[in-house]
Amino acid sequence: MPDIQLGCHTIRSHGTKVATLHMYDWIILLCLAVLDGLLNIIEPFHRFVGRDMMTDLSYPLKGNTIPFWAVPLIAIVLPLVIFAVIYFKKKNVYDLHHGILGILYSVLITAVITDAIKDGVGRPRPDFFWRCFPDGKPNFNNITTDVICHGEKSVIKEGHKSFPSGHSSWSFAGLGFLAWYLAGKLKLLIARVTLQNCA
């Protein structure tokens, strides 16, 4: 398809054509978003947490050091702004579309994998004690010695999702894709191959 990607192709002139051509890609993307939503709704695996384990799980319950809203802002919105700037300079709707599609695939596939592992592993967060016992009064099963939580259900649920880090995986997926995209735009990989061939 290299012949139709030459010249000036704007959103107005070729936007509908590009979207129609990649309709199935967008449907798969939508399915990934729905799947990730379901993974956030279901209850994660509740790993055994005994009395002796509480020493490592009694850190104070605090808000996120980096707020949740900052992750999509840095990992998705920032790359989208860069794609838009390049589009307004080059007027290439194909490049804009593929950049947007690429970043969304990168982040959503990572989100699905991350949330699936979180739900399957069920590793408690370091502040699990205070999520489970907000009043500071622990309660354990007399036979199994497993915790009997009496905290807020949604807070406890989130307390079983320590591993892997969603902040880290989303940031790496979004900014990693952006790094490869910019490397391609700046022809860094081509220059390296040329230098190796000359040596």
75-106 per-position pLDDT tens digit: 999 999 999 999 888 888 888 888 999 999 99
Residue 15 confidence (pLDDT) = 60
Domain assignment present for residue 73? The answer is yes
Task: Give every CB contact of residue 31 below 8 A, 6+ residues apart in sequence.
Answer: none
Residue 5 has pLDDT above 80, yes or no: no
The answer to whether the beta carbons of residues 138 and 54 sit under 8 Å apart is yes
Domain that holds residue 74: 9-191
Within 13 Å and on the Cβ side, how many CA atoms surround 25?
15
Sign of the C-alpha dihedral, residues 95, 97, 101, 107? positive
- 70 part of a folded domain: yes
Alpha-carbon span 17 to 196, nearest angstrom: 40
Q: Where are the alpha helices (DSSP H) in the chain?
A: 11-21, 23-41, 70-72, 78-90, 93-121, 128-132, 153-159, 166-185, 188-198
List Cα–Cα distances, 187 to 82, 103, 179, 181, 197, in angstroms: 17, 19, 12, 10, 16
In the chain, the number of structural domains is: 1
Residue 185 covered by a domain: yes
In a domain, 124, yes or no: yes
* 197 found inside a domain: no
Residue 1 lies inside a defined structural domain of this protein: no
Q: What is the mean pLDDT of residues 145-159?
A: 93
